Chain A
Amino acid sequence: MTLALAFLALLMGGVGLWLLRQSLFVQPWVAESGGRPPPYPVPRRFTAPRVGLVAFMAVVTSLFALTISAYLMRMAEAPQWELLPQPSLLWGNTGILLVGSLALQYAWEGARSTRRARLQGGLAVGSLCSLAFLVGQYLVWRELVALGYYLDTHPASAFFVIMSGLHAVHLIGGLGAVALCLWRLAHGTSLAHLAEGVGLCTLYWHFLYVVWLVLFGVLFVGAGPLYALCR
């Protein structure tokens, strides 16, 4: 739980500082003076979708931080624990998700510089790479099963399925958003209108990529040292 707490402390610290700035030296009981219009309380760059996505990413981070905490605690308390082998396909998956993330970045640049072909191409490549990643994850799971790492005999394998499954569900949700962007693009929505949505998709993809890197780290690459640390 230490991990989850550290994440929360960080988050709460940030929010607390921001709130402090909003409330320190403010005298709420003093009414607005009529000499100037009441201020617009929210900076214009804080659009609703942006605020919503940032909040959503905090929730998803909390979800994964807690799952990883559970994984570490389960690892620490297990009478025996067998580390998972590292199928080489995992590196391929990691690479292809990176390409997907970069493709979306490319698409976003396209939307901002009003280059329709770039935007279309970027979105298409991004979603195809993400689909390939999902298929790749499924193949990794099959490979683990073939090697004898079943859900009911290897808790590490069960954690892999839960974590990669949760990650996949979030990626599939993101693909829905990308599909919506593509649909709007096909139906003639202006690029200026699309730019924000594509930008948010890009941010979300980068975020999911980082989440995957962390999961890859705790489940496979860094599992050995973590296990030693937990024991």
Chain B
Amino acid sequence: MGEREYDASYQAPPAEVGEMELVHPRTFIGKYIWSQDAKVIAVQYMLTATAIGLVALVLSLVMRLQLGFPNTFSLIDPAEYLQSVSMHGMIMVVYLLTAFFLGGFGNYLIPLMCGARDMVFPYLNMLSYWFYLASVLILAAGFFVPGGASGAGWTLYPPQAISEGTPGVDGGIITMLVSLIVFIAGFTMGGLNYVATVLQARTRGMTLMRLPLTVWGIFMATVLALLAFPALFVACLMLLFDRLLGTSFFLPEMLGMTQEMAREGGSPILFQHLFWFFGHPEVYIVALPAFGIVSDLIATHARKNIFGYRMMVWALIMIGVLSFVVWAHHMFVSGMNPYFGFLFATTTLIIAVPTAIKVYNWVLTLWRGNIHFTLPMLFAIGFLFTFLNGGLSGLFLGNVTVDVPLSDTYFVVGHFHMVMAVAPILVVFGAIYHWYPKITGRMLDETLGKIHFWVTFLGTYLIYYPMHFIGLEGVPRRYYAYGETTFISESVQTLNAVITVAALVVAAAQLLFLFNLVWSYYRGREAGPNPWHATTLEWQTADTPPPHGNFGKELPVVYRWPYDYSVPGVKQDFIPQNVPPQAVEREP
């Protein structure tokens, strides 16, 4: 945008900061397996998350086939249904979305966008990935232990999670808890890296207020995760003690009486508090990076500066802070004091304010922008709609009196899938279409991408929109079959069948996307260094894909914010962050 007076003869010295000793291995294993390069680690994270995410996708299809055609397919029994629900939820929320956004995009983009050579603790970063891989393998091992995986739901509520009769109580719950503990330890190593790199390793000129919103989103999400994951860590550790050592942190007395050893009256509600103290910020751990990324996608592909940059940053911060004081809205039916419910309903609804600021700002950025309907932009707009719709049903559930009858029905399933499953995954796709050219040097195929977008976008609405109506009928979630239930009308079964067919089609579209990823890697069009004409530093690297160390001999120097698109009087419609004022070509 505007520029102050400048001295045309002045040449700023190259950045002197952030120079660090990098380990440059020569072997294949050193380069791609035990790699300390954040970009390789990012790809490792993404591939692992995709692999385990596909397992969760298959689980959801198996469940849908059971629900849609209960007497046609007998792929799973009721216990396996519960195990599928639990593993699907846990994998998708923690091992796919959290890992993909923070481990994947965080690792790839933070050093590049901040103008750093690498993360500040590369060895710890490598260790973080290996912990993550170990946690995924331990979790997957749950399928193969005696009794199978845990069927306690992704929320793992005690006493059920560790009581006789729940599927997976023998081994599955143990692998699940150990896996989460390992995941959190690994994430902490990565998270410290992301935070320290953003705070410490920014290049010359890269003030906090010149950071792209992607970095802001990932940064705030990491801060939330670092502070909230300890709650899950403690909860898992205590539940593990209860299960293995016979302690009574969570197991109440009434239940203890019937088991081998009488326990001393633990508090199941305590677990719920700890779980949701993590669980609600987790929603934003997934959402904030999506918010950040979508801001950059919209600005770049609408060729317009983001509307209200400072407001966007502060909205991210406010959402982060508020997300810590709303956790009990997940527990309205746990018998809490009504005043407590009122308090948490209020804080919950207040979050709508900074969130609405963001939505308005995205829309205002699009307003009279030079919108290019590229694939990343399509996914960004898809996200806007989906997040808004999901958020609106959240207004219902945020109110105690409405939540109580809707709790544990399909309304909740529809709501949270819209707001924290479909919306963020649309951003993941948009971001992959946007940054794949930088990661591989080739463009993804546009036609395949468009088919992928439209099938996914419309298909997910076909899946989750009807669920709201099913929920309003009072159909409970986590049921294997409904049989002859009087209050459930026959049309519900028809809707369930429609949903299942839509889910199968959407899943097939994801295979098309995977095919596109592989095919384009070998046959895709050459991308060049900056195919989207973007301003941020990752597009200004000398080589594409960037080598270990990211930038050439000298680190870039930053002169401007990342949103100098369509600046009046300037020849090109974008000015990269590292272009000094005197080098900007102006119209005569």
Contacts and interface: CB of A to CB of B under 8 A. Distances in A.
* Chain A complexes with chain B: yes
Interface of A: 1, 4-5, 8, 11-12, 15-16, 19, 22-23, 26, 28-42, 46-48, 51-52, 55-56, 58-59, 62-63, 66-67, 70, 73-74, 77-80, 151-155, 158, 162, 166
A17 to B, nearest CB: 12
Interface in B187-208: 188, 191-193, 195-197, 199-202, 204-208
B200 A47 contact: yes
B226 interface: yes
Interface string B284-320: 0000000000000000000001000110011001000
Interface residues of B, number: 80
Most chain B CB inside 10 Å of its own CB: which residue of A15, A37, A78, A166: A37
A35 B7 contact: yes
Contact of B269 (A41, A77, A155): A77
Contacts of A34: 6-8, 10, 12, 580-582
11 contacts: A12-B324, A22-B209, A31-B564, A33-B3, A33-B4, A35-B6, A38-B557, A39-B205, A152-B245, A152-B248, A152-B261
B586 to A, nearest CB: 13
Interface stretch (B39-47, B227-235, B423-431, B488-496): B227-235
A48 B200 contact: yes
A153 B264 contact: yes
Contact of A23 (B195, B209, B249, B253): B209
B462 interface: no
- Give the 6 A-B residue pairs with the shortest CB-CB distance, closest first: A38-B205, A34-B6, A152-B246, A48-B120, A31-B560, A63-B230
A58 B202 CA distance: 22
B559 A79 contact: no
Given A41-B204, A78-B265, A16 B321 contact: yes
Contacts of B205: 32, 38-39, 41
B17 A42 contact: yes
Nearest to B6: A34
Interface of B: 1-8, 10, 12-13, 16-17, 120-121, 188, 191-193, 195-197, 199-202, 204-210, 223, 226-227, 230-231, 233-234, 237-238, 241, 245-249, 253, 261, 263-267, 269-270, 273-274, 277, 305, 309-310, 313-314, 317, 321, 324-325, 557-561, 563-564, 575, 580-582
A44 to B, nearest CB: 9
B200 A28 contact: no
Contacts of A1: 273, 277
B202 A42 contact: yes
B147 to A, nearest CB: 23
Contact of B310 (A23, A33, A55): A23
A30 B246 CA distance: 63
Given A29-B309, A70-B270, A158 B6 contact: no
Nearest to B189: A56
A157 to B, nearest CB: 9
A1 B193 CA distance: 28
B237 A162 contact: yes
A59 B265 contact: no
B309 A28 contact: yes
Contacts of B188: 56, 59
A73 to B, nearest CB: 5
A55 B196 contact: yes
Contact of A151 (B3, B209, B241, B581): B241
B12 A38 contact: yes
A60 to B, nearest CB: 8
Contact of A52 (B6, B120, B575): B120
B196 A51 contact: yes
Contact of B238 (A22, A79, A80, A162): A162
Nearest to A59: B226
Contacts of B233: 63
A161 to B, nearest CB: 8
A19 B211 CA distance: 13
Given A34-B582, A39-B207, A48 B196 contact: yes
Nearest to B4: A33
Given A80-B265, A152-B245, A58 B560 contact: no
Contact of A40 (B204, B314, B563): B204
Contacts of A8: 227, 324
Contacts of A23: 208-209, 310, 313-314
Contacts of B580: 32, 34
A48 B196 CA distance: 6
Contact of B12 (A11, A37, A78): A37
A70 to B, nearest CB: 6
B157 to A, nearest CB: 15
Contacts of A66: 230-231, 234, 274, 277
Contacts of B264: 78-80, 153-155
Contacts of A52: 120-121, 192-193, 195-196
A194 B99 CA distance: 35
B200 A42 contact: yes
A158 B249 contact: yes
Contact of B201 (A29, A38, A48): A48
Contacts of B202: 41-42
Contacts of B265: 78-80
Nearest to B222: A55
Given A12-B324, A29-B561, A56-B188, 14 more contacts: A12-B321, A19-B317, A22-B209, A30-B1, A33-B6, A35-B6, A36-B10, A63-B230, A74-B270, A77-B267, A78-B264, A152-B261, A162-B237, A162-B241
Given A23-B208, A37-B12, A59-B192, A11 B582 contact: no
A58 B270 contact: no
Contacts of B206: 41
A193 B507 CA distance: 55
Contacts of A32: 205, 558-560, 580-581
Contacts of B209: 22-23, 26, 28
Contacts of B249: 70, 74, 155, 158
A58 B226 contact: yes
Contact of B1 (A31, A33, A153): A31
A31 B3 contact: yes
A56 B245 CA distance: 30
A35 B247 CA distance: 68
A153 to B, nearest CB: 7
A151 B192 CA distance: 34
A28 B261 CA distance: 64
Most chain B CB inside 10 Å of its own CB: which residue of A41, A55, A63, A78: A41
A151 B5 CA distance: 71
B210 to A, nearest CB: 6
A77 B1 CA distance: 59
Contacts of A59: 188, 191-192, 226-227, 230
A79 B267 CA distance: 10
B227 A30 contact: no
